[in-house]
Amino acid sequence: MVGEFDFCVIISTFNRPHMLTELLDNIEREKKNYKVLVVVFDDNSSQKADLTNYNIKKIVMSPNMGKRKYYVLINATFSYIRNVNSKYFIYLPDDVKLVDNFFDETKRIYESIGDTKKICLNILTDGRVNRTNWTNFNSIDYGEYYHTQWNDLCFISERKFFDVLNYMIEKIPENRWDGNPNLSSGVGQQISIRLNRKGHNMYHTKNSMVYHGDHESKMNKIERTKVSLLTK
């Protein structure tokens, strides 16, 4: 095992060097007395971030996985997590900023959910939160959080999340994009459907724990013009 940590933060990145370093600065600012392991999975970026001053682990995918093989990158993160002894796991994209008291508040809200079937708490909350999305579940408002029953790969969980998924994302078939090349990677959809079928519950914070700007998406450019992830 890799040591004991309070949080293991997994960041996926591609060609956003300045946003990535800003996020790493946010994590350093917010971690306080927590023991935090940060692991950056770089999807073979051509624009390199200078990470020499950061105490992190970095893994570079080769070749670039892009949208259609994003499941391969996520599988690599799952494989890494097998050997990490951490109380909580947090997944973040490279293009978000953290709210003040991020770790304290994210942990507090997650722990406040008194549901033995909870499996994760999504922490990026935008206009999609009231959609049924992939599980046809109508969201339920519980005050500080919603029961939404879907996952968007920006979340906090415990190890059970990965155990239930057998540390594996199943291959996303290439024909997924035959009718619509603008569809997303399919990873969040697969996770949501599999966890839902197994009877586990997924939640979203009412107030987003991360800020997401209105910048261009690397994987879903067309879709982001229709559905913005703007949170502040």
CATH number of 4-226: 3.90.550.10
Distance CA 178, CA 196 (A): 26
pTM, two decimal places: 0.91
pLDDT at residue 1 greater than cutoff 90: no
pLDDT, position 213: 77
> What are the tens digits of pLDDT across the range 115-163?
999 999 999 999 899 899 999 999 999 999 999 999 999 999 999 999 9
> What are the tens digits of pLDDT across the range 170-193?
999 999 999 999 999 999 999 999
pLDDT at residue 169 greater than cutoff 50: yes
What is each CA distance from 47 to 11, 42, 44, 56, 164, in whole angstroms?
16, 10, 9, 18, 36
pLDDT, position 226: 47
